[in-house]
Amino acid sequence: MSGAAAPRQPVPLWRQLQAAAGVVQAVRAGASATPAVAAVPVELRAGVQALVFQALRQLGRAEALRSQLARRAPPPAADALLCTALALAWDEAHAPYEPFTLVNQAVEAAKRDRATAGQASFINACLRRFLREQSALVQATDTQPVAHWNHPAWWIARMKTDHPRHWQDILRANNEVPPLVLRANARRWTQAQAQAALAEAGIEAMPVGAQGLRLARARPVHELPGWDQGAFSVQDGAAQMAAPLLLQGLPVPQGRRLRILDACAAPGGKTAHLLELCDAQVTALDVDPVRCERIGQTLARLGLRAQVVAADAGQPPAWWDGVPYDAILLDAPCTASGIVRRHPDVRWLRRESDIAALAATQARLLAALWPLLAPGGRLLYCTCSVFRAEGEQQVVAFVARHKEAVLLPSPGHLLPMPSANTGGLPDNLASEHDGFFYALLEKHSSAHPAA
């Protein structure tokens, strides 16, 4: 009997569609796609995630098509499978498989799942009609904004209000597949050295910002040279701006290291970047103990150290030692509306009321952390949001309430499109980044004069 391992059998597409539809159903029920995908059997996970992300990026169109095909939606499991198939098949130019194959395998998936078997004939009838009348059905949904832009109606309206010149480009960018962007560990090598090491390993990458590298083709991070030894981190180009913005021009105290607080720090990417760029005493704070463990894991892989504290940044008496900080990085909880291309479930999970609720949390955190900053110190407020209520409007209100707060030159809203940046970006970053907001505040010892 041979000791050679049997060749791995390919996973049938119907099994992947079953699992992908299960994740779509979970998202529709209000659950994040991340844990739902993580619960998928490992042999299915990579393929299922790709199908899920594409389906979520086209879910508005799929639901509009389903409404054309059926007067009433079927039960949730069957509807999720039907809409997943429609989302993947409607645009033949970008379909992961031939539409006819997707339809056949979706019907097979329905037959083989107890939750959908009773609806298999209905799903078959809808999808066969879709194949026959595809052009007319798609044309009938083109005029529906949710179908055309694949975002909720309230989100589209908000973009028109917040960014009247660029809303279409932002929504269009949100439906693109993002690249994999790395940050070279500055304690290990320069950007050029890291790029050369990748090239030697047959991995093409282009410079992004001062330390970033955008891969021409995404790949598992453990295939990167030196990954396990801390040579790289995964971090979008916009997020890589945080640490340099906070540190550039920050006075270094004599006789001691800088004291820096990274509030809401998990999973630790910005904490690590701060430590890569300077020798500082950094406290990394997050309210979630499990996420704090991720900060520790991030730092351990990179060979860095910080004080990691599980506590609510909005309740300093519970954790602050009373010594002012020279710098504070507040990456505040937000809607994540700027990273929708990386997390396409966000657009379907969020409600418009979330914006006001999160803006209130952001204001509470700013008010709680500002007194912890030493005179002359700096606080960098940032969110991965494109909504002005979580960015520009938040900072304008804060400066109006705190006369000793001075807004230094800052990027402001970075929109996920090349032509809408507010300025101050490196040339090689201006065309590739997530949506973000940055405001750098300096504390003066007395109230600054009115503008």
The residues annotated with a catalytic role in the active site are 384
d(CA 184, CA 203): 14
d(CA 279, CA 54): 42
The residue type of 439 is A
d(CA 382, CA 269): 14
450: buried, middle or exposed (CB in 10 Å: 19+, 13-18, 0-12)?
A: exposed
Three-state DSSP at 138 gives helix
Q: Are 315 and 364 in contact (CB under 8 A)?
A: no
* DSSP character string of 64-92: HHHHHH-SS---HHHHHHHHHHHHHHSSG
Place of tokens 């995404």: 218
Q: Which helix (H) or strand (E) holds 357?
A: helix 353-369
| Nearest CA among 198, 120, 208 for reference residue 433 | 208
